[in-house]
Amino acid sequence: MARSSIRGLTWDHPRGFAALDAASALPEAADLNLQWQTQSLEGFESHPIGELCEQYDLVVLDHPHVGEAVEAGCLWPLEELFSAQELQSWAAQSVGASYESYAWQGRQWALPLDAATQVAAARANLIDGALPASWTDVVDLSSDGGVCLSIAGPHAMLSFCSMMTAFGSPPEVERSAAHFVDEATALEVLDVMATLVGRMNPATHALNPIQMLEFMSRNDEVHFCPLIYGYVNYATRTDERAPVKFVDVPVARPAGRHGSTLGGTGIALSRRSKPSRELLDHLRFLMSESTQVDFIPAHHGQPSHRAAWTHAGVNDASGNFYRDTLATIEQAYVRPRYSGYIAFQTRASSAIRAALVDGTSHRQLIAALNAGFKQQSVR
């Protein structure tokens, strides 16, 4: 009798799919019969996690979905599946808050398979002199129209959160907070964002990070993006694409924080799964140092292990992608994870984008963001 398959869901980019698919095809994983399927980046960012967990055993997710998943009761808490020593080891080896971002209500719900945050991306060969190190430098460079801000989908909100962090006042994450953002800082941030968006090619407004990096690497129109989720896949030259240089995001003040909003992906086990020893061993393999340093980078992935981010060979093969953005991911802002946050993020991003493009009053926008946050707090 054929063994039933284990169904996994990830997202449809080589960074999200290739290493998982290759690992499931290894001889030692043959008895698992693990089959990976994919969804779009937009689905990964916004699809209700409870619906996905009804259909799949393994789910690759974004950490702001964790509270929603816990409320739905659709994930296994990892404390019931792995030893405390194992979990502590994975926490210690992960860059930035990649591990902690999947914790909620005192339990761990996913393992940080992949680490990412918003970083700065440049076509360095198209920029005279040093790359912008401050937000003042970014505004100055934008005068020729070659600077783009990532504002499609949720990314207007994510870029706003990153800049709030850089300008010294990260958005609140606790539902009990009196407001979501400080008005004075938000006004300063929105003024800079509006200047940049006003100088952008409108055709780039709808580009998600993958599309923006494709656009940057295939033509010479955009030469700098100060905040965009880093994809190591674009850091090296191919026959079709020029290399994109990834560096730490700009600071707002001398020696200030590299304001960025944490991304990356976690791998979680849905309650419909039956966590066998073989399946748990497969997850241990994916999180091991050797896999993170060798196997995942060799299969277009972006590891979470600090040993990979600091490894000379991994950096040599990626144009120093990891070493040159490590400070940013170590300082990244972690979004709220409560149930209902994703819906708030979607509405807020739409409002921010509309204000930047159409010229809505920034004070009215800030008031709407703070009011929307408070409405979430009383759910």
Q: Positive or negative, the Cα torsion across 368, 374, 378, 379?
A: positive
Report the CATH number at residue 37: 3.40.190.10
250 and 162 in a single domain? The answer is yes
Q: How far is CA 51 from CA 9, 75, 291, in A?
A: 12, 12, 30
Question: Does the pLDDT at position 161 exceed 70?
Answer: yes
106 and 188 in a single domain? The answer is no
Task: Measure the CA–CA gap between 352 and 164, rounded to whole angstroms.
Answer: 13
- For residue 4, the model assigns a pLDDT of 75
233 and 352 in a single domain? The answer is yes
Q: How far is CA 187 from CA 169, 201, 358, in A?
A: 12, 23, 16
Evaluate whether residue 1 is within a structural domain: no
271 and 238 in a single domain? The answer is no
55 and 31 in a single domain? The answer is yes
Q: Which of 294, 310, 330 is the last residue of a domain?
A: 330
pLDDT tens sequence across 279-292: 999 999 999 999 99
Evaluate whether residue 320 is within a structural domain: yes
- For residue 2, the model assigns a pLDDT of 45
52 and 81 in a single domain? The answer is yes
210 and 345 in a single domain? The answer is yes
pLDDT tens sequence across 2-45: 457 999 999 899 999 999 999 999 999 999 999 999 988 787 77
The tally of domains found in the chain comes to: 2
Band the pLDDT of 375: cuts 50, 70, 90: confident
Evaluate whether residue 143 is within a structural domain: yes
Evaluate whether residue 182 is within a structural domain: yes
pTM of the predicted model, to two decimals? Answer: 0.95
171 and 309 in a single domain? The answer is no
- For residue 1, the model assigns a pLDDT of 34
Domain of 214?
Answer: 118-260+340-377
185 and 83 in a single domain? The answer is no
pLDDT tens sequence across 259-284: 999 999 999 999 999 999 999 999 99
Task: Measure the CA–CA gap between 26 and 28, rounded to whole angstroms.
Answer: 5
97 and 137 in a single domain? The answer is no
> Long-range CB contacts (< 8 A, 24+ apart) of 276-280?
278/31, 278/32, 279/6, 279/32, 279/34, 279/57, 280/81, 280/82
112 and 124 in a single domain? The answer is no
Q: Average of pLDDT values for 154-179? A: 96
- For residue 41, the model assigns a pLDDT of 75
Task: State the Cα angle at 57 between 46 and 82, rounded to 5°.
Answer: 105
pLDDT tens sequence across 25-37: 999 999 999 999 9
Residues of the chain with pLDDT > 70: what percent?
A: 98
- For residue 245, the model assigns a pLDDT of 98
160 and 183 in a single domain? The answer is yes
Evaluate whether residue 24 is within a structural domain: yes
Evaluate whether residue 335 is within a structural domain: no
Q: How far is CA 308 from CA 94, 321, 331, in A?
A: 10, 11, 18
